[in-house]
Each structure stands twice: as structure tokens, then as C-alpha cells.
Amino acid sequence: MEELSVPLTEESVRTLFETAGARVMSRGGRTEHYGSPREFSFEVKAAFENGLVLHVLARQYVYRDPWEAQGRVNDVVDVSLLRDGQYTSLPKGYEWFQSSDEETGVDRDGLERLITIIRSINPKLFILQRMTGDL
């Protein structure tokens, strides 16, 4: 039997960010009501002390059988990185956001690793790599 990933919800993603010390805003999009927005299920933005912001967007729910999980869940999310209000990639040497400002299909374990990396980055690294032409 295939192992199920840990579901991501608006509340669980908020908690991950708050535990990491970020300021967090979130909103749910898709609800049981027919007239609600259908393009995403929830989004969360987290601003870290170093000035980096992660924007998590869960686009579609996955429906599981009742014995697997309660109702609709998200197994993966899309994550964008912002710095100074602009989308950005990370300096060289990181496994995430290389030549891209968005990571798609990130599961809970990946999101936890990403949070650890983002909150620990010294913003001076961006300046240094821009000066050396690496960014």
C-alpha cells in the first residue's frame, strides 16, 4: 500500500510558520459554498525577520476516502519567494529557488526544510552574490 503524505491545511501551514517565528497572514478560498472562489483552496504568506517572504498557494484539494483523512486535503503546495516585495531566487548553494522564484509540488517535509533554510539566511548574502555576479 502506498504511503500517504501528511496533509497540508491553512491552519497547519500557519502553525509551521508561526513556530518558525514568522509574521503570518492567510485566507481560505474554496469552501462548501457554490459561489466561493475555485482557483485555490488556501494561501498563506509568512514574513521572516531577515526580510524574506514565503507565499504558499494550495491550488486544488485532493479527495480521500474517509478512512484515510477527513474530507478534502492538500498533499502538495506551490511556494514563491519574495524579497523587498519582488519575486526572487535564492543565492547559489541552496537546493531551492535556483533560477526560479517558485517551487511547485512541495510536500510537508519539503516545506519544513524550506522554512528552516529561509529563516536562517543572512540578507547580506544577496548583496555579496550580486557584487560577485553570482546572483
Candidates 23, 27, 54; CA nearest to 40 is 27
Contacts of 91 (CB under 8 A, 6+ apart): 121, 125, 126, 128, 129, 134, 135
Give me the helices (H) in the chain, please. Answer: 10-19, 108-120, 124-131
**pTM, entire model:** 0.80
Give yes or no for residue 54 having a pLDDT over 90. Answer: yes
pLDDT digits (tens, 9 = 90+) for 76-101: 889 999 999 999 888 888 888 888 88
